[in-house]
């Protein structure tokens, strides 16, 4: 193959992101060729219905409903996996690798759940699997951590890595709306799926955090060890009380190195309103990385969409094309660290994690209740930073007490909450949201 001959790409799934990628490759063909050293063109693509109208020009692309034709095509050097899901995608990616194809994917679930196996097979076959688009859409966070920060020991990272959840929390804060109301609008706008579970329960963010933690700390991908909590229990009152105390609620993925091991957790989090991360609104994504030499750095941008995600896909294609002639041993490792140098740092259970807390407790409006609550905190050596006790409204005998605590272990807090919920005057389950200063 001559140096000027374009690299042929086969695409699995020519949908929103696939067409975004195709449009970028066409529009910026000259710039991309100048960067990669060769042109890059899509020669074949598979889809469920080849007759369906597409949002990109397919006149020069061979269309097929048989995905196996893409991964076995002898002219294809790079397979682009954009079908989503895990079972079919895994089989096709492994088949592409067996046929000596490099792979680019935007599939976070595939990498989080099966990445260890896929990367091992790719290493054995001397091919690359690139996955920048799997985390935070078009933000080049994978490359930043894996390459730009390779001189550093990463201390922690925290990110808004699901745009749907961030849109919901932004609307709840700015317009005082209820969760269910905003979720319906998010579905109408196309931000949330008909079944929004992956977004609002934190599963999507946990997939992405699994990948970020692996490249940040040099550990195998371990999705099953990520603590995951969604935003469905949050109320507009919680959002308002947090603002009153100087905080905003964000649905964060947090990975932190401690002396005991790694914390991997996704949950609603109070963060000080002056923090840059607290001011990331709507469907935007952002990740803060704290490194020992650089200090904190922020990566912000569109976390989804045809061309933002396509931007990351094409960047991966360029990287793969640049490395086509290089010795596989000299390529950037898939998970940032050399395959034989991954560490077995333990992943901590949530019981062993220590954070500060926001608590909302609904109690009967009578004397002595607050004293009972604070006594339980004292018994468990939990220090209180602030208390808001709302005045009872007319003809309503239930009042909310809002408490901020200093840092305490989750296990300690669980025991205190159990005792508080058993008090006769406490009428509902205690609402607990963890608090991080990100300092």
- Give the 3-state DSSP-derived string for 60-71, with helices as H, strands as E and coil as C: CCEEECCHHHHH
Could you tell me whether strands 384-389 and 398-405 are parallel, antiparallel, or unpaired per DSSP bridges? antiparallel
Q: Is residue 45 part of a domain?
A: yes
Q: Is residue 395 part of a domain?
A: yes
Phi/psi of residue 129, nearest 5 degrees: -120, 115
Other C-beta atoms closer than 10 Å to the C-beta of 297 total 16
Regions of the chain short of the pLDDT cut 50: 1-2
Q: Is residue 322 part of a domain?
A: yes
169 and 87 inside one domain: no
| pLDDT of res. 341 | 82
123 and 40 inside one domain: yes
DSSP assignment, residue 426? B
148 and 203 inside one domain: yes
Domain holding 26: CATH number?
Answer: 3.40.50.720
| pLDDT of res. 337 | 83
- The C-alpha atoms of residue 122 and residue 20 are separated, in whole angstroms, by 26
| pLDDT of res. 2 | 43
Q: Is residue 424 part of a domain?
A: yes
Longest dimension (CA), the chain: 85
Per DSSP, helices labelled H in 80-162 are 87-98, 108-125, 141-143
Other C-beta atoms closer than 10 Å to the C-beta of 4 total 9
Phi/psi of residue 164, nearest 5 degrees: -60, -50
Residues with Cβ < 8 Å from 223, sequence gap 6 or more? Answer: 112, 113, 206, 207, 210
Nearest alpha-carbon partner for 110 in 126, 138, 88, 78 = 88
Domain holding 218: CATH number?
Answer: 3.30.360.10
Sign, Cα dihedral of 314, 338, 134, 122 = positive
- The C-alpha atoms of residue 434 and residue 267 are separated, in whole angstroms, by 8
- The C-alpha atoms of residue 15 and residue 411 are separated, in whole angstroms, by 46
- The C-alpha atoms of residue 347 and residue 255 are separated, in whole angstroms, by 10
Other C-beta atoms closer than 10 Å to the C-beta of 90 total 18
Q: Is residue 348 part of a domain?
A: no
156 and 101 inside one domain: no
366 and 332 inside one domain: no
Q: Which domain holds residue 365?
A: 353-435
- The C-alpha atoms of residue 206 and residue 226 are separated, in whole angstroms, by 6
| pLDDT of res. 112 | 98
Domain holding 382: CATH number?
Answer: 3.30.70.260
- The C-alpha atoms of residue 44 and residue 10 are separated, in whole angstroms, by 5
292 and 145 inside one domain: yes
Domain count, the chain: 3
201 and 269 inside one domain: yes
111 and 145 inside one domain: no
316 and 407 inside one domain: no
- The C-alpha atoms of residue 19 and residue 55 are separated, in whole angstroms, by 6
Q: Is residue 37 part of a domain?
A: yes
Q: Is residue 344 part of a domain?
A: no
Work out the burial of residue 48: count CB atoms within 10 Å of its CB; fewer than 13 is exposed, 13-18 middle, 19 or more buried.
Answer: exposed
DSSP assignment, residue 153? P
Other C-beta atoms closer than 10 Å to the C-beta of 345 total 16
Phi/psi of residue 373, nearest 5 degrees: -65, -50
Residue 249 near residue 160, CB atoms below 8 Å: no
Nearest alpha-carbon partner for 90 in 111, 120, 65, 66 = 111
Q: Is residue 2 part of a domain?
A: no
152 and 273 inside one domain: yes
134 and 146 inside one domain: no
C-alpha 105: how far from chain center: 15
279 and 328 inside one domain: no
Active site residues: 208
């Amino acid at each position: 193959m001559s140096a000027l001959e374009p690299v042929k790409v086969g695409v699995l799934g020519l949908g929103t992101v696939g067409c975004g990628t195709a449009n970028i490759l066409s529009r910026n063909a000259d710039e991309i060729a100048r960067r990669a050293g060769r042109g890059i063109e899509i020669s074949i693509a598979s889809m469920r219905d080849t007759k369906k109208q597409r949002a990109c020009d397919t006149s020069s692309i061979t269309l097929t409903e048989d995905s196996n034709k893409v991964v076995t095509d002898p002219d294809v050097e790079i397979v682009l996996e954009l079908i989503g899901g895990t079972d079919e995608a895994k089989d096709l990616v492994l088949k592409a690798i067996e046929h000596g194809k490099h792979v680019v994917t935007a599939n976070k679930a595939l990498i989080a759940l099966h990445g260890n196996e896929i990367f091992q097979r790719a290493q054995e076959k001397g091919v690359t699997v690139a996955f920048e688009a799997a985390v935070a859409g078009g933000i080049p966070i994978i490359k930043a951590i894996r390459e730009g920060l390779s001189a550093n020991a990463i201390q922690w990272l925290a990110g808004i890595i699901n745009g749907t959840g961030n849109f919901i929390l932004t609307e709840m804060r700015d317009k005082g709306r209820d969760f269910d109301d905003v979720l319906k609008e998010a579905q109408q706008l196309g931000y949330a799926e008909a079944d929004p579970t992956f977004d609002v329960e934190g599963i999507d963010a946990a997939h992405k955090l699994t990948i970020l933690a692996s490249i940040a700390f040099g550990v195998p991908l371990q999705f099953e060890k990520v603590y995951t909590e969604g935003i469905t229990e949050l109320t507009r009152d919680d959002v308002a009380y947090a603002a009153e105390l100087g905080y905003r609620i964000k649905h964060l993925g947090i990975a932190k190195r401690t002396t005991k091991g790694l914390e991997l957790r996704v949950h609603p989090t109070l963060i000080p309103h002056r923090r840059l991360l607290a001011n990331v609104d709507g469907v935007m994504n952002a990740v803060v990385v704290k490194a020992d030499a650089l200090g904190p750095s922020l990566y912000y941008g569109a976390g989804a969409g045809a061309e933002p995600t396509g931007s990351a896909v094409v960047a991966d294609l360029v990287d793969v094309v640049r490395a086509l002639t290089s010795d596989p041993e000299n390529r950037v490792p898939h998970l940032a660290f050399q395959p034989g140098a991954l560490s077995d740092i333990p992943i901590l259970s949530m019981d062993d994690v220590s954070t500060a807390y926001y608590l909302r407790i609904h109690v009967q409006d009578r004397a002595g209740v607050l004293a009972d609550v604070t006594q339980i905190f004292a018994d468990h050596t939990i220090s209180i930073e602030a208390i808001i006790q709302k005045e009872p409204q007319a003809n309503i005998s239930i009042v909310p007490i809002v408490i901020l605590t200093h840092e305490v272990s989750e296990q300690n807090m669980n025991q205190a909450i159990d005792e508080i919920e058993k008090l006769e005057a406490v009428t509902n389950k205690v609402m607990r949201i963890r608090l991080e200063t990100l300092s």
